[in-house]
Structure 1
């Protein structure tokens, strides 16, 4: 009885767990859910986050120059050189004038454990400039991640609408197959009755084959779009995935004037801001190279003990402290070449920033034109669909009455399908262009 109760509890817990796990994954993904999943799972964002952490570590490395450096060491020396041996004996506090031949001291061992601390007093500002460059590196990495996020959101949006467009095109092709198949069946009956020509039946068979070919292409387009979308979402290719077709996105509004869009991009676009940060980083690196001409000052202190063995005694310890100032008088032109290198890197960063701005302006203009073009095509295609639907209805009635040939019916059917296809293409082109425009202005950030 107890075992049976336990098994029932386990079964209930398994059902609850299965339900909870099922609730964590949506059965149908809306565009917002797809974007959230991509932002959580796409590996490219993980790579960018790792780069941010690398930049943080580089900042920590640059800050180490502002702290004292402490080292512990143990050295061993053996010498029968009178001067060195005499110095080691004195350091070991065991000098005796009785019975010692200072010219022939024999071999002397010296062990010296010591702790040394050094502190940089002045390095021409190099440490400060390196810290500034490292801080700019963190900001640049964060902006690059924001730019990657922008691109990811845009790509997910384009792939999502691409799959929706393929699904609607697939539905049109299936509807066309049904209509042509129905007309073909009726024409075959009429042909058997001797009221329809064989050429009419053959024309409908050709039209049916073309409709089936279009249906196959649309089905493959759905698979390709879904595969691309899964990749962007960080999901395996064979993972179950469907998009929500019940929601129809509203058409975007007409874009603002170019100057207004450009001002938004210049103030918001992360790629442009990252390029400007890289220019500032190059300026700090140039400051580091130029600071090498200035003198450097370091303070140091060491504490240790000299003995003929490893035994430590406070009677033999000693302390050394001091300050050292040095300046490079001639470094084989290395400092000058480093400055030249930093100057060229600064020029390259400035040109890269200018190139980034030009590219963003081009993307902005292209997205604006695409959106305007798509919205105009939506208006035209909407009128064309209504006209094509009415023309097909009239031709179908005339066809039933035997007034027009099957060729005219096929032409009307093809015109109707093309009008619907143009309308679908224009509508989703407008939505994709809106996403491109948002990316170009830095809206997704």
Structure 2
């Protein structure tokens, strides 16, 4: 008993420490796990998050206009111009009338360290409108990320179901190959015994080649779907990856009426909301352009000192303060052209929003019709598969009894495979159409 426990524990530890075993367990992705991995690793979402951070930075930049601006500077000037030199000597507090030749003061050096603060009192509302546009830009970036997330989830779902469909089609091809190969082996024995024609054997060989061709195509489709899923999940081509083939998705329910779906999309679809936000941003940009006609007022204060060297002394410091108001009387029509540009950008944003709504309405209607069509096909395919299976069974019995030719058997075999393929296609088309419908209504967010 002690040895049994030892080997049991050892085996469990070996399996747990075996990297190949661990990788094979981890690489079995369900649809939910694949979606979660894509949302965590796909670089497109990282790009959208960076755009959100850019929008936040732009908001911070616009808010900077509401704070005072403080600058420190150091200037140096040398002049022998009597007016300038006389002014510098007075600023340095060293004017002396004794022995001074004001017409020939010689070269004078002046150093001025200075701190200046300015504050915008009024800019016609431009700073406020820019702040509003920046805040709308953040909301737009977040909605664009939600739309990208919806698209990513839909793409992962479609690729996942596409691989499952290819895997089931591959299984059908393998079963067909086995059945045809078994029949071919029996036919060769009967041909060697002189009870079967050579043409029957050749027909089965052709059928086997077609089944092998279908198997190769299905296997290639699986590889392509896996490659697409790895890209969507942010995995490298060398990483181990496989989906959980044991997961069986039931057929979705029928879609709701179009008006109900449209109302849901209009209230929750991130692309529609983002388009509306872009219109609002364009309106704020137009307000900024129009506000350029209004006057601007700035307050300023500066503190510094003038000296012939860099030595600072509070006996030579000075303070200047004031308010400046300015207005553009004529700017070469630049302001008018900026307003026209902003008006056209607003029109473009409004048309883009209308185009987005029309596109989503079309996607919604297409997804609804595709889902209804796929569900109807899936319902019909169930009956077709049962009939094809029964027909193949009867033909096979007749074939064994020598009543029908091999051609009839091949026809029944092909009909059975096609019925299974149509059933697989209809079922996964319905699942993909359901995913498209969820994206079109903004459900994935």
TM over 0.5: yes
User: Could you say which residue in structure 1 is the equivalent of 2:69?
Assistant: 69
> The residue matched to 1:95 in structure 2 has which SS?
coil
User: Could you say which residue in structure 2 is the equivalent of 1:377?
Assistant: 377
Q: 1:206 to 1:52 in 2, by over 3 A?
A: same
User: Within 1, Cα distance between the matches of 2:97 and 2:25?
Assistant: 90
Q: 1:18 to 1:292 in 2, by over 3 A?
A: farther
User: Could you say which residue in structure 1 is the equivalent of 2:187?
Assistant: 187
**Do structure 1's residue 43 and structure 2's residue 26 form an aligned pair?**
no
> The residue matched to 2:427 in structure 1 has which SS?
helix
Name the stretch that deviates more: 354-363 or 238-247: 238-247
User: Within 1, Cα distance between the matches of 2:181 and 2:17?
Assistant: 49
> The residue matched to 2:29 in structure 1 has which SS?
coil
Shift of 1:27: 3.0
Shift of 1:234: 0.5
TM-superposition CA deviations, 1:86-129 (whole Å, max 9, x none) = 11111000011111111111111110000000000000000000
User: Could you say which residue in structure 2 is the equivalent of 1:302?
Assistant: 302
User: Could you say which residue in structure 2 is the equivalent of 1:9?
Assistant: none
Contact (CA 8 Å) 2:388, 2:419: kept in 1 or not? Answer: yes
User: Could you say which residue in structure 2 is the equivalent of 1:403?
Assistant: 403
User: Could you say which residue in structure 2 is the equivalent of 1:218?
Assistant: 218
Shift of 1:23: 8.2
User: Within 2, Cα distance between the matches of 1:190 and 1:28?
Assistant: 46
Correspondence list, 1:26-37, <5 A:
26-37=26-37
User: Within 2, Cα distance between the matches of 1:306 and 1:23?
Assistant: 75
Shift of 1:213: 0.5
**Do structure 1's residue 436 and structure 2's residue 436 form an aligned pair?**
yes
User: Within 1, Cα distance between the matches of 2:15 and 2:176?
Assistant: 45
Q: TM-score, normalised by structure 1?
A: 0.95
Correspondence list, 1:5-154, <5 A:
22=22, 26-154=26-154
Shift of 1:26: 2.2
Shift of 1:25: 7.5
User: Within 1, Cα distance between the matches of 2:181 and 2:14?
Assistant: 50
Shift of 1:159: 0.2
Q: How many residues align?
A: 432
User: Within 1, Cα distance between the matches of 2:17 and 2:386?
Assistant: 52
Q: 1:83 to 1:282 in 2, by over 3 A?
A: same
User: Could you say which residue in structure 2 is the equivalent of 1:315?
Assistant: 315
Misfit runs of 4+, over 6 Å: 13-19
User: Within 1, Cα distance between the matches of 2:24 and 2:182?
Assistant: 45
Contact (CA 8 Å) 2:120, 2:298: kept in 1 or not? Answer: yes
Q: TM-score, normalised by structure 2?
A: 0.95
User: Within 2, Cα distance between the matches of 1:24 and 1:108?
Assistant: 84
Runs of at least 5 residues in structure 2 that lack an aligned partner in the other structure = 1-12
> The residue matched to 1:355 in structure 2 has which SS?
helix
User: Within 2, Cα distance between the matches of 1:355 and 1:51?
Assistant: 23
User: Within 2, Cα distance between the matches of 1:200 and 1:264?
Assistant: 60
User: Could you say which residue in structure 2 is the equivalent of 1:175?
Assistant: 175
Shift of 1:16: 8.2
User: Within 2, Cα distance between the matches of 1:337 and 1:363?
Assistant: 38
Contact (CA 8 Å) 2:24, 2:240: kept in 1 or not? Answer: no
User: Within 2, Cα distance between the matches of 1:238 and 1:168?
Assistant: 25
